[in-house]
Structure 1
């Protein structure tokens, strides 16, 4: 659910200005559109990354306390996999925010951005196992939110990407979408 919240925050950074038509005033005062979008992305990451790390840390501590209380195997905060999951989870959530920002810049509608975010981040993941053969295998391995989410797992499935490779797939997808957002934002009228 945190990935949706961060994605929605990123989307609203763009679409709220289009909805209220304040984007016209923003672009009048700062006509260099790449600076506007770049500044929005920088502020979003500046907020999302530390908050994402805190959310990941809280989730880890609560989850491990529950596992420990039930007598199940659990990780200590000092374990490498735990630290990777906490800091990688923060990076993943910041990437989800940038994904939402890029979608919002391309789509410009809050409703359509929210719908697309839900489809990309939740619906495809839910139906990936039901997809036929090679398509389902590919989606389960390379779909950006699924691949990026590997960063928070301690279990190593040889059929799936490693945690850092999965996060790289997510980052590459976000970078490509941000590049498209910069092009569309520069070329389109407010």
Structure 2
């Protein structure tokens, strides 16, 4: 139960995020530009503004140009491992085989542990967070070792039963 408590307390140990920048006000529509209204006067844009240069288009914040100059599809170097569908971390897959999911979680924990120990946090060390990450990493590694040991024991038992079944004939 202690590892679950560590996972639940982990967000409390993180420093608060920086305040989010205020959204920029929408520019007023150009004269003569369509305002998203159909022939019967209904607003078909659902109250959303238009994209600049796209008449009648809706605003899509996920397609807006990045503010810090970083490309949307570009990932920084040493990006942490992401949990993907192929890692089988969904509840049904975890019931049958959790090895891939646990290995991905272990990789991410190792990445964050290394990141906390890097020069990025030299000015502001996070000893409680580092300790918690180490404990979580040990717990996940223990779970992987248990799973692999039980898997090998099951395989050994299957081979052993074939041997004894064959010799009993």
TM-score (norm 1): 0.23
Larger gyration radius, structure 1 or structure 2? 2
TM-score (norm 2): 0.26
By relative contact order (CA 8 Å, sep 6+), the higher-ranking structure is 1
More helix by share: 1
